[in-house]
Structure 1
Amino acid sequence: MEYEIIVVGGGHAGCEAAIAAAKMQHKVAMITSNKKMIAHMPCNPSIGGPAKGIVVREIDALGGVMGKVADQTNIQMKMLNLSKGPAVWSLRAQADVIEYPKRMIEILENQENLSIIEAFVDKLVVKDNKIHGVLLADGREIKAKKVVLTTGTYMHSHILVGHTKKEGGPGGQPTKASLSNNLRELGINLFRLKTGTPARVKRDSIDFTKTTPQPGDSIKRNFSFDNISANKNIQELCYLTYTNKETHEIINNNIDKSAMYSGLIEGKGPRYCPSIEDKLVRFSDKERHQIFLEPESLHTDSIYLQGLSTSLPNDIQNQFIRTVPGLERCEIIKYGYAIEYDAIIPTELWPSLETKKISGLFSAGQINGTSGYEEAAGQGLIAGINAALQIENKESLILSRDEAYIGVLIDDLVTKGTDEPYRLLTSRAEYRLLLRHDNADLRLRKIGHEIGLISDEQYIEFQKKCATINEYIEKIKTIKITTKIKINEYLSNIGSSKLKDGISLYDLMKRPELSYKNAIDLLKIMQEYEIYTRIKLDNVKEEIQQQIEIQIKYDGYIRKAKNQVDRIKQLEKKKIPQNIDYNLVPNLALEARQKLKEIQPITLGQASRVSGVNPVDISMLSIYIKNR
């Protein structure tokens, strides 16, 4: 058998990579050990959250599928951080763990140019440091021009509970060490990482009267910009409870029985999603920790205990879980466990997610040292796109740090590396005011159309939206609000200071307390005086109203951020020759020389972000390149 692109793995990265490459008219094979586990959610049953929700919007803006599937299969939607500025707004969906994979498999099966093969990949077929395909465990060889590895946490993985350790991946699925061994033989450096999952308990065994309900939003919300895939606005309740002194005593008294602290685990766990044991050790001064009770599906009675990830023995789990208010008589359906697995050191990759040592081999997702479904899907989309673009002899798609959170994620991985499962946070983005939930399509939809993942029809609708936003902003600039008595009465009633002189509605809307809806009311008051009677502001969708309000209110801050980007972009434009010998660059610090050799940055901008490289080193490198 022969394909253009092989995607190894059927997780969230694999799904995006395979669908993107197939939509770009390339013959693709997805190879997965178990078709039923495609798009499986072995851990938290959610999509989105801080920073991650913006990644899902970016995936949709580029033409990926995660956002649409989440819209179609969620059981709760909620916008987080609405009390703060738009730079940190982020949508989160409680996903149905049965319906989500089911819908994703339907999309894969109906995608032209895409085949699904159930098999284990034993080895890569590599000749002269170039990929030629894969060798399956049953001895079959499948040829391909490009291969994308998206093995998640299944590469040479072990499940750990207490002092026990056994081979297996998430959900107890089989795993193999052969691919890990093969990658090492090919010179690709790997490292061990650890993650984990909490217990699940039976819904009917929980006393919810001792917990605090956490409802979704009453407003219907979507990840997708196309608004064709919204669910029926189901809003299942989640619940909040807390650990307590008794919980902590049981865990602390048995800490030596945890796989995390018994010396059984080699790999490092996620800093920003720690086990309950890790929380108690690192935050010993805290009297309690939040626990969210989250329904996994409308089809089951399983409740996920968010915040209680553990690798303690089952009998200890029985004890400490039942000290949590509401869980005193809970029936445990599935116990928590830790999982350890092999990952590629991400500095082994180019920003395109192609490996530096093997041409045509890409990797994406948790195999690159990340945590989370969203980070995996974002990488998978980029890896699939770049594998296809490389076949077409086109330049790789590399999103910059000011264009997308996906760009921040990949740049952090390939430039700085990681020694623990990397989680995307809003604080990692220096231009987060530019990388908002509301404007992902304005940033990325044109790119999606250019590479062939956004249809002409979708792009025409997008262009109409852009035109409407610009048209209404210009209208608002022409409206002058005067010191009429009714105007000042209205402003006073909404807690805004009265006008002493006339002011444009555009400038007035910059006041923090004024919204687009207030602008509509102010215009109507002006029209009572038969002024601006032909102008309307209320005949556009709410999402466009919100976009107009944000662009006006934060105009100065946005322009300032864009000016900073323009200055930095000068370094990003300066390419570093691939054949550069850093030993010949005079006056480079020894650490900088070593790090630059390892990372092999492609621009001066990327070089400036390498740990251990300082501004003087960049100046010396810039002079050397210019003189050369």
Structure 2
Amino acid sequence: MFKKYDVIVVGGGHAGCEAAAAAGNLGSSVLLVTMNMATIAQMSCNPAMGGVAKGQIVREIDAMGGGSGIITDKTSIQFRMLNRSKGPAMWSPRAQVDRMRFAEEWRLMLERIANVDFWQDTVNSLIIKGGKVCGVITSLGIEIEAEAVVLTNGTFLNGLIHIGEKKFGGGRTAEKAAHGITEQLVGLGFEAGRMKTGTPPRVDGRSLDYTKMEEQWGDDERGEFSYTEVPKPTEQRCCWITYTNTQVHETLKEGFEKSPMFTGRIKGLGPRYCPSIEDKINRFAERDRHQIFVEPEGWNTIEIYVNGFSTSLPEDVQYKALKQIQGFENVKMFRPGYAIEYDYFPPTQLKLTLETKFIDNLFFAGQINGTTGYEEAACQGFIAGINAHNNVAVKEALIMKRSESYIGVLIDDLVTKGTEEPYRMFTSRAEHRLLLRQDNADIRLTPLGYKLGLIKEERMQTVNNKVKNADAIVKFVKSVSIKPEEVNGLLEEAGTSTISQNVKLSAIIGRPQINFSMLKEASASLKEFLSPYNQETIEQAEIKIKYESYFEKELEIVNKMKKMEDKEIYQDFNYNEIISLSKEAREKLIKIKPRTLGQASRISGVSPSDVSVLMVHISR
């Protein structure tokens, strides 16, 4: 019935979609196995993509030829660039999307890839022979052979849903859990754990009084995630902000005795930075209100996502508390919020390619690795799909570096440090974040996507032109001067010191109060010179000028660290022979099997003196 595939992807969420698309676009024959064809790319939680650090990840996926940025742009209902008041390293794109259209567009994109086939079924176990995965066995008893398998099971592995004192099996509301894979892998020597996440209730938008809430519109100049020319909606939808209050908190507390979180029925750890409303009330007892974001689920639906009200309290308590929020007095609830526990596998059991250390050609991506968030899942799926293809095609593995991408930071963190709570990406996790900005993801990573075969020649040329044009602007402003009488009026208006003699345009644009759009009104030559260039290129040049000295210092640090990252450690290196290593370091190094000295230095429990000892032995 089935041919032998190059790659089987298990799960049709964000990680599964990117994995199937990447492997298929590279030329592998791919089978995407999902429980329900109607829920491919389902947004189980909030209807949004991007945000702080997450937006950078989506742009990186797009820059290398992935699909998340394109789908987001096509289906967005509102776009905002967060943290504009801070430096460019902190700017993070975020978009509200139409949840139903997002899923539809992903499925259509996958269906247009000739190499990708689909099968609606549940995978209960893997076919493993001689330490290598050889296929899967479904709930229908069908054996499907493959050279590589990518597991992207999300929250479905032994998933257990909690609402108050009620609990029932499920990977998502109204969808059954998956059983068998965890038990098989544990039997093969894998370590497994439990994690928890949750979601808020959904409500009827017609029952809300928006006049009592604060409007939250998107940016006037609508941005985008994809570097390609994607047709975007011309209009935007409004979101709203309201707040809980002491009355809401007291009502919620009435249900604490039935809360699965506080009674110990939930064993898994939840996301630290996205706590439930009951957790917020308990941890931040001094606060008398918490922010609630009222987010539409799409263009043509009345369904509203109540962001900030994630909960697993009894449904009657949820409803009573919701009605006490300003603007929600007459609310109608579609479905209650719930918590879900699920199995994951500590990611220290993976290589930096996301292939498992114990079973060849078996890859894990997404929440199975202990992460949380669509964006974190998508980038893992993308890399796992590429490496699954590369293994089958006998090509060099793709390993992303910390100094070149947020994706590299995420994977290195997971594999090297592991995680005991749902891992979420933040800009603070990236030590080189000044170099890893959302505006230059194409400059950093499109050449890599081109080398892999995911980026076409025309798109690569567009990036080359962007670099060339930005450099031309920088060269111009460094060579052309401006007179005091031309610019002092602007400088005074901007609240910065005036000049007494001619200075180069670069000295003026280097000031934080001044940008190109302001300066070109004072300099006719600059206005004329910039006229052929688009805003993206001009912004790139402006950032290069303002932060030039910082970039140089950061690159010096990267180059120093590169020496350690280039010091490779053989995978069969015998750490037991090095007596001068601490016991803890020896245990951790044997477990993690770092690929380089740089990775070894980031392992918790490996001290600087241990690294020095290692360096001596590796040099020998």
Structure 1 residue 467: Cα displacement: 1.3
Could you tell me whether the CA contact under 8 Å between 2:291 and 2:308 is conserved in 1? Answer: yes
Structure 1 residue 489: Cα displacement: 3.2
Structure-1 residue corresponding to 2:492: 492
Could you tell me whether the CA contact under 8 Å between 1:162 and 1:258 is conserved in 2? Answer: yes
Structure 1 residue 456: Cα displacement: 1.1
Structure-1 residue corresponding to 2:512: 512
CA deviations over 1:373-411 (Å, ceiling 9, x no partner): 000001000000111112222221111112111111111
The alignment status of 1:554 with 2:554, answered yes or no, reads no
Q: Give the AA of the match of 2:188.
A: L
Structure-2 residue corresponding to 1:240: 241
SS of equivalent residue, structure 2 residue 389: helix
1:150-229 equivalences in 2 (<5 Å): 150-226=152-228, 228-229=229-230
d(CA) in 2 for partners of 1:220 and 1:505? 29
SS of equivalent residue, structure 1 residue 184: helix
Could you tell me whether the CA contact under 8 Å between 2:198 and 2:339 is conserved in 1? Answer: yes
d(CA) in 2 for partners of 1:98 and 1:419? 33
SS of equivalent residue, structure 2 residue 562: helix
Structure 1 residue 268: Cα displacement: 0.6
Return the match for 2:585 from 588, 592, 598: 592
Relative to structure 2, which stretch is displaced further, 317-326 or 365-374? 317-326
Return the match for 1:580 from 535, 557, 573: 573
Structure 1 residue 82: Cα displacement: 0.9
Structure 1 residue 482: Cα displacement: 3.5
CA deviations over 1:76-104 (Å, ceiling 9, x no partner): 11111111111111111111111000011
TM-score by length of 2: 0.98
Structure-2 residue corresponding to 1:477: 478
Unaligned runs of 5+ in 1: none
Structure 1 residue 187: Cα displacement: 1.5
1:249-398 equivalences in 2 (<5 Å): 249-398=250-399
Structure 1 residue 583: Cα displacement: 1.1
CA deviations over 1:20-43 (Å, ceiling 9, x no partner): 101101111111111101000111
The alignment status of 1:564 with 2:557, answered yes or no, reads yes
CA deviations over 1:53-97 (Å, ceiling 9, x no partner): 111100100100000000001111111111111111111111111
Could you tell me whether the CA contact under 8 Å between 1:47 and 1:374 is conserved in 2? Answer: yes
Could you tell me whether the CA contact under 8 Å between 2:409 and 2:429 is conserved in 1? Answer: yes
SS of equivalent residue, structure 1 residue 91: strand
Identity across matched positions, percent: 46
Structure-2 residue corresponding to 1:611: 604
d(CA) in 2 for partners of 1:446 and 1:323? 53
Could you tell me whether the CA contact under 8 Å between 1:123 and 1:135 is conserved in 2? Answer: yes
Structure-2 residue corresponding to 1:56: 58
SS of equivalent residue, structure 1 residue 521: coil
Structure 1 residue 297: Cα displacement: 1.5
Return the match for 1:601 from 581, 594, 598: 594
Structure 1 residue 304: Cα displacement: 0.6
d(CA) in 1 for partners of 2:292 and 2:487? 49
d(CA) in 1 for partners of 2:465 and 2:486? 35
Structure 1 residue 577: Cα displacement: 1.1
Q: Give the AA of the match of 2:609.
A: V
Could you tell me whether the CA contact under 8 Å between 1:74 and 1:234 is conserved in 2? Answer: no
Q: Give the AA of the match of 1:398.
A: I
Could you tell me whether the CA contact under 8 Å between 2:311 and 2:338 is conserved in 1? Answer: yes
SS of equivalent residue, structure 1 residue 170: coil
SS of equivalent residue, structure 1 residue 171: coil
d(CA) in 2 for partners of 1:114 and 1:486? 61
State the number of aligned residues: 618
The alignment status of 1:538 with 2:531, answered yes or no, reads yes
d(CA) in 2 for partners of 1:462 and 1:312? 50
Structure 1 residue 547: Cα displacement: 0.6
Could you tell me whether the CA contact under 8 Å between 1:415 and 1:599 is conserved in 2? Answer: yes
Structure-1 residue corresponding to 2:523: 523
d(CA) in 2 for partners of 1:140 and 1:307? 43
CA deviations over 1:456-489 (Å, ceiling 9, x no partner): 1111122111111112211222112234x23333
Structure 1 residue 203: Cα displacement: 0.7
Relative to structure 2, which stretch is displaced further, 360-369 or 176-185? 176-185
Structure 1 residue 212: Cα displacement: 0.5
d(CA) in 2 for partners of 1:109 and 1:486? 58
- What RMSD, in angstroms, separates the aligned Cα atoms of the two structures? 1.3
Q: Give the AA of the match of 1:208.
A: Y
Return the match for 2:41 from 21, 39, 42: 39
SS of equivalent residue, structure 2 residue 173: helix
